[in-house]
Structure 1
C-alpha cells in the first residue's frame, strides 16, 4: 500500500510539472506568434553581433511586409527548408511578392539557396531580444546528462513522498493507556465514583449507592491494591 501511495504521489507531481511546463510553453507561443520563440545561435556567421550559444527571442507577430533592410530575421533555408538560418536583411529583391536577400555579417557575400530568395513562406520571425551565452545550457541537456537530470528530479519526488508518509505515520498513534491497561481505567473510574460517595460519608450521611464510610474505605483499599498489582505486572512485562 505504501509503495502504491508513493507511486501515485510521484505520478501526480510529474503531471503537475508537465502541465505547468505545457501551459507556459503554449503561452509563450501565443505571446510571440511562433511555434518556437527561442533559437540558439549555432554558427559564427553573425559575429560580432551574435555569438555562438546566444539565445534569440523571435517575434513572429512582426509581419513579413514590414521587414526592412538591416533587420535580423530567422527563416528556413529556401533551398530545402531543412535548416533554420539567422541573418541580416541585405536588400529587397522584389516587391510583388515581396522577396528579400540576406547575408551573415561575418560572411563575405550572400549564399544562393541560403540567403536568397526569401519569401513569406520561409519567414519565421524577427529577432526581438538576444540573451548572451545562455545556449550553453542546451549543450548540458544533451544525452546522457538530460536523463540524469530527469532521474534526479524523479528521485527527489520519491523521497518527498516517503518523508510525507513517514510524518503521517508518526502523527497517527494509539493511546497506550487505553489499549494496554483497560482495567486500570475502569478502576480509576470507580475511584472517582467512590470519592463522590465519600463526600456524603464525611458529613455522616449514607452515599447515593447506600454504602457506609467503612464500605467505601474497604472498596478504595481494594481498588488501590488492584492498581498496584497492575503496575507491578506492567513493570515485569517491560
Structure 2
C-alpha cells in the first residue's frame, strides 16, 4: 500500500512539473512570436559578436519586411532547410518579393545556398537578446548524462514522498486523541484512581453510620437492662 501511495505521489509531481514546463513554453512562444524562441550558437562564424554556446532569444514579432541591413537574423539554410543559421543581413537583393543576402561577421564572403537568397520562407526571426555561454547547459542534456539527471530528479521525488509519509505517521502517533497515547492512558488511570477513592470514602462513611447505629442500639439495650435490675 505504501509503495502504491509513493508511486502515485511521484507521478503527481512529474505531471505537475510537466504541465508547468508546458505552460511556460507556450507562454514564451506567444511572448516572442515564434515556435522556438531559443537557439544556441554552434559555430564561430559570428565571432566576436556571438560566441559558441551563446544562447539567442529570437523574436518573430519583427516581420521579414521590417528587416534591414545590419540586423542579425535566424533563418533556415535556403538550399535544403537542413540547418538553422544566424548571420547578419549584408544587402537587400530584391524588394518584390523581398530577398536578402547575409554573411557571417567572421566569414570572408557570403556563401551561396547558405547566406542567400533568403526569402520570407526561410526567415525565422530577428535576434532580440543574447545570453552569453548559457548554451553549455545543453551539453548536459545529451545522453547518457540526461538519463542520469532524470533518474536523480525521480529519486528526489521518491525520497520527498517517503519523508512526507513518515512525517504524517509521526504526527498521527503523537495525536493526543489516540488510544495508545501514554498521556491519555495516564489521565484515564488518574480518573480511575479518583473514582476508586470516592467509592472508598463513601464506603467508609457508610461503615461509620452503621457503627454509630450499632452503638446506639447497644446503649439502648444496656439502659433497658439497668431498668430491669432496678425494678
Q: When the two structures are superposed, what TM-score results if normalisation uses the length of structure 2?
A: 0.81
State how far apart, in whole Å, the 2-side matches of 1:213 and 1:180 are: 29
CA deviation string 1:43-98 (max 9, x = no partner):
01111111110100101110100000000000000111111000000000000010
What RMSD over aligned residues (CA atoms) do the two structures have, in Å?
Answer: 2.3
The 3 A distance-change label for structure 1 pair 215 and 163 is: farther
Provide the residue aligned with 2:196 in structure 1: 191
State how far apart, in whole Å, the 2-side matches of 1:112 and 1:51 are: 23
Where does structure 1 differ by over 6 angstroms across 4 or more consecutive aligned residues? 177-182
Contact 1:100 1:119 in 2 (8 A): yes
Contact 1:44 1:106 in 2 (8 A): yes
Provide the residue aligned with 1:119 in structure 2: 119
1:170-189 aligned within 5 A = 170-173=170-173, 174-176=180-182, 184=189, 187-188=192-193
Q: When the two structures are superposed, what TM-score results if normalisation uses the length of structure 1?
A: 0.79
Give the C-alpha shift of residue 186 in structure 1.
7.6
Provide the residue aligned with 1:52 in structure 2: 52
Provide the residue aligned with 2:216 in structure 1: none
Give the C-alpha shift of residue 213 in structure 1.
1.1
Give the C-alpha shift of residue 177 in structure 1.
7.1
How many residue pairs align between the two structures?
202
Could you list the runs of 5+ residues in structure 2 that have no partner in the other structure?
174-179, 209-231
Give the C-alpha shift of residue 133 in structure 1.
0.7
Where 1:172 maps in the other structure, the secondary structure is: helix
Does residue 96 (structure 1) correspond to residue 124 (structure 2)? The answer is no
State how far apart, in whole Å, the 1-side matches of 2:11 and 2:138 are: 26
Provide the residue aligned with 1:213 in structure 2: 205
